[in-house]
Amino acid sequence: MSFLNRMYRLSTFVRIPRMYEPQRQSIAPAAAATLADFLSSTREQYLRDVQDASGKAQNWTVVMGNEAGDLDTIASSIAFAWLRTKVHNQPSISLLQMDRDDLDLRAENLHALSLAGISRPKDQLLFVTDLIDFHTFPSHKFALVDHNRLSSSFNPKEEPVVVALVDHHADENLYLDSAEPRIITPSGSCASHIATLMDNVDIPPELADLLLSAILIDTDGLKPGGKAIDVDRKAAEFLISKSSFALSLNTLQTNDTTPPTAPYEMDFIKTLSEELSTKKNDVSHLGPRDLLRRDYKQYEFVLPWHPDTPIIRAGLSTVPVKLADWAANGKLESESEAWMKERGLHILGVLTAYRGASKGKRKREMAWVIQTHSPPTDNFNYDALTKRLWSGLKADEVLDVKEHKKFGNGTLDNIQGNFPHLQVRVFTQNPHATRKVVAPVLKTIMEGQNS
């Protein structure tokens, strides 16, 4: 199969491994170039080496976040590539698993990158579609951040090897012997783990700003009672001291005898958090297709309960708008069917998150679409798949799903007549169960032995 299907087709952290103990004498001078210069120069050099017939691209480590392309995954991949290159003298390049035009889907990303001095991200960053002309992926060494499974679509000539892994999702127990470091442990933001690896390292202020922005947007500004845990708070304090705000903060503290303010109470933290949140939540300019692909992750599952043990492909789209506002009157079905065909999916889960009109309480819906006209095998049993998915979702106590009062069987009354190849169910769910919770549940349902 061609690279990325031709573009579409420890586990608990208990120590910082020796390789990642700060080696101050090996640090390249940070003042020699800005973060933007570093990204532009490494991109240019990597692409030159990719074109070189002598195989120089094999010397590089490709640092990738997940395909959802949120700020956490982008900031983490940029920072980890900088750390390996500038501190540990291991040439590394940050690769975004998206088309460059997809950057426009997330205004908060563009804002944070701009604050970090990356004013022309479409020219300064490397996108997976920049390598579309290569039938096989040009490098074989990978570092994964903000996810912990290398997609089977990456098919270099040599056997791929994951040399490092930093994540905060459910551990899939892969790369136990090859990844160093191998950090998979809870946090509000993966960027917090990256920052921990940079303790005592002289990082550029703009890189600290970028990582701090990622932590703030993932933890609702570090507010107590939110997603932030101790590692996020400690990382934020470290990054603030390294950030572009540090000089003004130091000046204020010199003239102030009051106790230090907690990060979430600092005015600039509140302002930055609000700016990022406002931009993230403004999706009024996006249509249904853009909403489905804006925050999307894809998975492959082997089905041990099926006689042919086939592999199926599933996708999860997180959408910050309730279904009634964008997916009614058949749009859920028509747009999901089109997206599933584009991505080669058998299952699509659409996970909405929004604030209710009454008291602004957080609410979540989940719509599931199964496409039954593109079987992974000739004798595939879709009746068994649909029964397994519906019953598995209903049985999970954490998800706590209930049939959607308005769209339980889809957004059209005559779903089978209009979309004969789709099976659709829609539920309301536990408002605290994010995709980080849903994805492992889906994996268990699909790959468990019992029906």
**Plot region of 399 (φ>0 → left; ψ -120 to 50 → alpha; else → beta):** alpha
Q: Domain 288-447 adopts which CATH fold?
A: Diaminopimelate Epimerase; Chain A, domain 1 (3.10.310)
Give the domain ranges of the chain.
4-280, 288-447
Per-residue pLDDT for 255 more than 60?
no
Distances (CA, A) of 135 to 8, 63, 160, 433: 13, 20, 15, 39
What average pLDDT score do residues 27-44 get?
76
Indicate the range of 21-25, 107-111, 199-203 predicted with least confidence.
21-25
pLDDT in tens, 74-107: 999 999 999 999 999 999 999 999 999 999 999 9
192/155: higher pLDDT? 192
Per-residue pLDDT for 22 more than 70?
no
- The confidence score (pLDDT) of residue 13 equals 29
> What amino acid is encoded at 441 in this protein?
V
In whole angstroms, what is the distance from residue 121 CA to residue 112 CA? 11
pLDDT in tens, 47-78: 999 998 888 999 999 999 999 999 999 999 99
In whole angstroms, what is the distance from residue 60 CA to residue 15 CA? 26
Q: Token match 């964008």: residue? A: 326
Tokens of 19: 């390789």
Indicate the range of 189-198, 270-279, 326-335, 404-413 predicted with least confidence.
404-413
Nearest to 190 by CA among 223, 226, 227, 161: 227
Kindly state the greatest CA–CA separation across the chain. 76
**Phi and psi of 175, rounded to 5°?**
60, 35
In whole angstroms, what is the distance from residue 20 CA to residue 182 CA? 11
What average pLDDT score do residues 151-172 get?
91
- The confidence score (pLDDT) of residue 33 equals 77
- The confidence score (pLDDT) of residue 360 equals 76
Distances (CA, A) of 267 to 249, 255, 355: 11, 17, 25
107/360: higher pLDDT? 107
Tell me the pLDDT of the chain averaged across its residues.
88
In whole angstroms, what is the distance from residue 277 CA to residue 108 CA? 7
- The confidence score (pLDDT) of residue 53 equals 80
Per-residue pLDDT for 169 more than 90?
yes
Please answer whether residues 91 and 48 qualify as being in contact, where contact means their C-beta atoms are separated by less than 8 angstroms. no
Place 29 in a pLDDT band, splitting at 50, 70 and 90: very low
User: Which of 128-132, 256-260, 390-394 is modeled with the greatest confidence?
Assistant: 390-394
185/417: higher pLDDT? 185
Q: CATH code for 4-280?
A: 3.90.1640.10
Q: What is the DSSP letter of 421?
A: T
Same CATH topology for 4-280 and 288-447: the answer is: no
What average pLDDT score do residues 182-200 get?
96
Rounding to the nearest 10 degrees, give the CA dihedral for residues 134, 174, 92, 230.
140
